[in-house]
Homo-oligomer: A and B are copies of this chain.
Amino acid sequence: MKRLLMLLLIISGACQENRPEKVSQSKSSYHPTKKVILEGLNHPWSIAFLSQDEALITEKDGTLLKVNLKSKIRTVVKGFPEDLTDSIRAYNLGDNSGIFEVLLDPQHEKNQWVYFSYAAKRKGEGRTTKIVRAKLTQDSLYGHETLLEAEPFTREYFHFGGGMTFGTDGKLYITIGERLFWERDNPPIPIAQDITDRRGKIYRINPDGSIPEDNPDYGPSAVAGIYAVGIRAAQGITVEPKTGNIWFSEHGTIQGDEINLLKAGANYGWPNVTSGKLRSNDYTPPKLEGANFTPPVWFWPHTVAPTGLTFYTGDDFPNWKDNLIVPGLSRGSLWRFRIENDTVKSAEELFIDDRVRIRKARQSPSGKLYILTDEDNGKLIQILPQ
Binding site for B on A (CB under 8 A): 4, 7-8, 11-12, 14-15, 18-19, 21-22, 24-25, 27-29, 31, 301-302, 318-319, 321, 336, 338, 343-353
Contact = CB atoms under 8 A, between A and B. Distances in A.
In the complex, which of the residues A7, A319, A343 has the most CB atoms of chain B within 10 Å of its own CB atom?
A: A319
Nearest to A331: B301
A319 B29 contact: yes
A348 B346 contact: yes
B344 A29 contact: no
A374 to B, nearest CB: 21
A349 B350 CA distance: 12
B338 A346 contact: no
A32 B338 CA distance: 11
A319 B28 contact: yes
Nearest to A18: B18
Contact of A25 (B8, B24, B301): B24
A320 B41 CA distance: 36
Given A11-B12, A31-B346, 13 more contacts: A8-B11, A18-B18, A18-B21, A25-B28, A28-B318, A29-B321, A31-B345, A302-B302, A343-B353, A344-B352, A345-B351, A345-B352, A347-B349
A27 B26 CA distance: 11
A272 B351 CA distance: 30
Given A14-B15, A318-B29, A344 B353 contact: yes
Main secondary structure of the interface of A (DSSP, over half): mixed
28 contacts: A4-B7, A8-B11, A11-B11, A11-B12, A11-B15, A15-B18, A18-B18, A18-B21, A21-B21, A21-B22, A22-B25, A24-B25, A24-B28, A25-B25, A25-B28, A27-B28, A29-B318, A29-B321, A31-B319, A31-B345, A301-B301, A301-B302, A319-B319, A336-B348, A344-B353, A345-B350, A346-B349, A346-B351
Nearest to A24: B25
Given A11-B11, A353-B345, A28 B29 contact: yes
A12 B11 CA distance: 8
Contacts of A352: 344-347
Nearest to A333: B346
Contacts of A302: 301-302
A385 to B, nearest CB: 10
B31 A338 contact: yes
B348 A347 contact: yes
A281 B146 CA distance: 57
A21 B15 contact: no
A367 to B, nearest CB: 15
Nearest to A319: B29
Contacts of A11: 8, 11-12, 15
Which 8 residue pairs across A and B have the least CB separation, nearest first? A28-B28, A25-B25, A18-B18, A348-B348, A301-B302, A29-B318, A29-B319, A15-B15
In the complex, which of the residues A7, A14, A318, A350 has the most CB atoms of chain B within 10 Å of its own CB atom?
A: A318
Nearest to A347: B349
Contacts of A24: 25, 28
Contacts of A353: 343-345
